[in-house]
Chains A and B, each alone.
Chain A
């Protein structure tokens, strides 16, 4: 995820708002009883309602509403009385030629997303809407304008979505990535979506503009669509921001328009401009009744909310205030419960977090239990095992489980006493007087170089089982 687009000049600031569409993992579609499963044979999960046949009517899926409100509460939104609305436009994959969505009275408003780096991005709204079908353009140029013919699969038509609209408060590509990543973590934590960007169950559009650094204005934005991965999002935002800066630099201005990210070309290309943008003629959906959640319903949702990523990170940093970055990674991997339990079993929190972050980056850690982990960290802390030995025992725990002390013994790791190590160090100093002089009398660089020499020799002698830090302490102690 290394950005290779040039970043913005210092006198320009990036202003980004993200619109994220999330498919809800309900059993059935938003307005009918068809299976919410669009990987089936085309046009098999369809009925009069999701095909928009004359005379059909929608019935709102209660599970979808519950999921949407749960997401709203997880984002700290106010859950309000809301109505569905019709967004009217012609498109072959919109079976009714209008999308049933929410407009001026969405279910969730005014939330926020607290990112791992401590920054906060405001959430304007998170509203319920239906997905469209999927069109394939066949033959010719393969696009709607030049294909020989097009096929529409309505299995996805009517699949429930929540669209989460952030405020334009994102200031960097890194923050945009962190936002999507955090949102994804929340979705997975509350279990309302599988949130797979590559499969389209989480889709991101980015509203991008720039402004002179320090200014509070909001300049003309462009909405970038067709972003297929977090990496693409970063590239698209950087490209688009640079395009705006270049336009301003040459005395021009961007037009408000929808643009498409061209992954292969690494650029955005113009879509609809605001001038020929459609008038969606929104009005309240007369076939559905307003949603009026009671205070009790909202309270029940709050009660059932699981611990969210931010709370999980906070729980770790309470235990290990100096390991914030490790905490973020450990929570993302879902290892924080294990860490908390191991701390409760007596492990040193900071050392433990470092160890888990660095040496438990594996897919399956189910054989590692909290007691074993705590015992292992205890042995390392007590100097019974060196760092290298600890890693080896941990690897063994991951693969086979068991008692760390037994494993250490089986591997022949005998605790090297401080005296033994001191003896080795003294012998080495005696054997290498020149190097020792250079260590004692040399400048900073020389001293570091010689410390490397002595440590290397010790490691060679102990087959890597000595603790590097203890060696350094001894050398410094001898040097006075």
Chain B
């Protein structure tokens, strides 16, 4: 049953939200120990909320489009009174005094807050192995990672612990775990969803987006969380996040480009596995069969994305994470002077990957190095924007793999950060230029694990990328 079907049954009084919730809580009880999707399951809160939804239905009030739907939140979104840890020791047990805008919106839509999900510490990673509270495992194969950094949210939906989940995507942190766990995951246009209450990693790149088991559910959750928020200055004014009503319109007549540099063939970045490339080709065939024209297109600057990203994101992170100094909240490790206390707190509170990125970012912004590093990465962003703008003169959408491989075994890449970073090569461009993108499962690789294909579109083309995703979803089901 989809989340939308479930909501329809709760709204119509066919099923009680409290009963739905207990089914989910039972599954969590049974399987969470082997998966570790959650940092916290908010059982009591969820039961109260479910009861309130049922009371509304009983009283003839509509609880909203997501009535009774259990939703998991990545543990970097502030939830009032509920620990929000970013899977970091430095924020262990920190309880925010306020809710993130998306948390408020999801609750206002009648959804149930089922818990806070595990992530790579401060969303820095691609496997959810960088959590201070232990890794999350892929429900499809417990020896493998769920992807990251929103691995807990992906695993929660894949394991049936939540009908929907929210993740945050700074360089692919929604789309790549969606691909690894066989889900739909979508990163909206920068500014389409409020970042208020999302603990910042790379402020100019971060966007919150939905995880769902199918395209329509993801679209429904996007509609709930999207739209202008006066508390986020980068939020797009007067945005109506309407995508569901056009989702079945197909791709007839659309011009779709396969990005050569991310297609695994000649002129492509290295490391994109051939069975993944095969699925992208199959997706292209499916789109053509549905009436789109598909051809290869070159976007050379995409090959620069990885380097630019690993300067921009750490630079912003180095500044965003300064506030974890032991003075006001979170961990404090006492020492003789304030400066020594700051250092001791941060030394003990941050994990290795977070420290690595703070140092990278600090270096990239330093006097004498700014122009060569941070400044140059800004130029790459401008160049990419120009190239993509030119490409979108000739194409409506672009098609790429979501990740170079399927889900990899735990521990395989933790020793070498570079092999981990390369994971993000296909997803990073959308973040650097602020465009929307979606990952849709499209069959499996030679290892039997799901492969995600990625549809990219220009700014505010959410309706279009959901249409293409729905077309691919239908084709994948036919295949099966």
Contact = CB atoms under 8 A, between A and B. Distances in A.
Interface string A50-83: 0111111111100000000000000000000000
A463 B192 CA distance: 87
Interface in B413-472: none
Interface stretch (B21-29, B109-117, B337-345, B392-400): B337-345
Contacts of B315: 283
A60 B233 contact: yes
* Residue of A57, A60, A88, A90 with most partner-chain B CB within 10 A: A57
A289 B233 contact: yes
Nearest to A48: B98
A92 B338 contact: yes
A60 B365 CA distance: 24
18 contacts: A52-B323, A54-B91, A54-B199, A54-B200, A55-B77, A55-B78, A55-B84, A55-B96, A55-B100, A55-B197, A59-B232, A90-B325, A90-B342, A92-B338, A98-B322, A281-B366, A283-B370, A287-B234
A48 B77 contact: no
Interface string B206-239: 0000000000000000000000001111100000
A59 B233 contact: yes
B310 interface: no
A224 to B, nearest CB: 24
Given A57-B196, A97-B322, A51 B234 contact: no
Nearest to B365: A281
Contacts of B362: 281
B195 interface: yes
A145 interface: yes
Nearest to A277: B367
A167 interface: no
Dominant secondary structure of chain A at its interface with chain B: loop
A96 to B, nearest CB: 5
A313 interface: no
B86 interface: yes
A38 B54 CA distance: 46
A283 B366 contact: no
A288 to B, nearest CB: 5
B374 interface: yes
A287 B222 CA distance: 22
A56 B194 CA distance: 11
A144 interface: yes
Contacts of A286: 203-204, 234, 316
Contacts of A152: 327
Interface string B368-385: 001000100000000000
Contacts of B166: none
B480 interface: no
Nearest to B97: A48
Given A90-B339, A279-B366, A279-B367, A54 B323 contact: yes
Contacts of A60: 233
A86 interface: yes
A95 B323 contact: yes
Contacts of B204: 286
A144 B337 CA distance: 8
Given A59-B233, A90-B339, A150-B338, 6 more contacts: A48-B96, A51-B328, A57-B233, A279-B367, A287-B233, A287-B234
Interface in B144-201: 195-200
A52 B320 CA distance: 10
A283 B315 CA distance: 9
Given A283-B374, A286-B316, A287-B203, A57 B195 contact: yes
A88 B337 contact: no
A59 B325 CA distance: 24
Contacts of A90: 322, 325, 339, 342
A288 B233 contact: yes
Contact of B196 (A55, A86, A95, A150): A55
A59 B94 contact: no
A167 to B, nearest CB: 24
B133 interface: no
A272 B370 CA distance: 23
Indicate the size class of the contact surface on chain B. Answer: 35 or more
B319 interface: yes
B3 to A, nearest CB: 26
Interface of A: 48, 51-60, 86, 88, 90, 92, 95-98, 144-145, 150, 152, 279, 281-283, 286-289
Contacts of A279: 366-367
A57 B229 CA distance: 11
A281 B232 contact: no
Nearest to A278: B367
A52 B325 CA distance: 11
By Cβ-Cβ distance, the 7 closest A-B pairs, closest first, are A97-B322, A281-B365, A286-B204, A286-B203, A54-B199, A55-B197, A55-B78
A54 B323 CA distance: 8
B184 to A, nearest CB: 26
A92 B197 contact: no
A89 to B, nearest CB: 8
Nearest to A88: B319
A88 B323 CA distance: 10
A97 to B, nearest CB: 3
Contacts of A92: 325, 327, 338
A347 to B, nearest CB: 56
Nearest to A86: B319
Contacts of A86: 319
B329 interface: yes
A433 B247 CA distance: 120
Contact of B78 (A52, A54, A96, A281): A54
A282 B197 CA distance: 24
Contacts of A98: 319, 322
B202 to A, nearest CB: 8
Contacts of B370: 281, 283
B162 to A, nearest CB: 21
Contact of B323 (A96, A145, A150, A281): A96
Contacts of B98: 48, 53, 55
B431 to A, nearest CB: 12
Nearest to B343: A90
A53 B197 CA distance: 9
Nearest to B375: A283
A283 B318 CA distance: 11
B57 to A, nearest CB: 32
Highest count of chain A CB atoms <10 Å: which of B198, B233, B315? B233
Given A152-B327, A281-B366, A286-B316, A57 B232 contact: yes
Interface in B64-81: 76-78
A145 B338 CA distance: 9
Q: Determine which residue in B204, B316, B322 has the highest number of CB atoms from chain A within 10 A of its CB, and name it.
A: B322
B166 to A, nearest CB: 13
A88 B365 CA distance: 10
B167 to A, nearest CB: 15
A132 to B, nearest CB: 12
A105 B232 CA distance: 22
A153 B322 CA distance: 19
| Among B91, B323, B366: residue with most chain A CB under 10 A | B323
A56 B196 contact: yes
Contact of B329 (A53, A58, A144): A53
Contact of A283 (B77, B230, B319, B338): B319
Contacts of A52: 323, 328
Contact of B231 (A59, A145, A282, A283): A59
Interface in B294-351: 315-316, 318-319, 322-323, 325, 327-329, 337-339, 342
A26 B165 CA distance: 41
A289 B319 contact: no
A86 B317 CA distance: 12
Contact of B234 (A95, A150, A289): A289
A98 B203 CA distance: 14
